Structure 1
């Protein structure tokens, strides 16, 4: 009978140790999951901020400003436009500066 009691005692102790190990592992994984959730939220916020910055960079006014200031571009006016006459044969001799055909 004492052998049976010792075997049962060892089984209960082993079961208790296993339960403690499983509880610890469960808590550790829960903490890791919460860290990952927080990191996911931070990355989503950063991605949304970057999307907003991209939209702000791609506005028509900003593109126009960069074209004018950085690339020194300007709007084409009739005074600087050259028209080619298609009937001239494409040799370039029939072009007139500043006028329409």
Structure 2
């Protein structure tokens, strides 16, 4: 009878330790999941902000302004346009 009681006490202590370890692991995983969700929310906020900034930078007026100021580009007009036409090949004595 004493051996049976001792065996039952050992089994009880073992199961109690397993229960404590499982509870701890569950809390640890839940905290990690909560941190990951918070990080996901923050990354979503950053993505939306950066996307809005990208759209603001890519407007036609902004691109034209940067082209004029930084790249020193100008609007193509007939006065500054050079037209290139096909010239007839000069007749040469070289046979092809």
For the criterion TM > 0.5, the same-fold answer is: yes
Unaligned runs of 5+ in 2: 89-96
Q: Normalising by structure 1, report the TM-score.
A: 0.76
1:26 & 1:76 partners in 2: Cα distance?
68
Unaligned runs of 5+ in 1: 92-101
Structure number with greater CO (CA < 8 Å, separation at least 6) is 1
Structure 1 residue 33: Cα displacement: 0.6
Match of 2:87 in 1: 90
Match of 2:53 in 1: 53
2:77 & 2:18 partners in 1: Cα distance?
85
Count of equivalent residues: 88
Off by >6 Å, runs of 4+ in structure 1: none
RMSD: 1.9
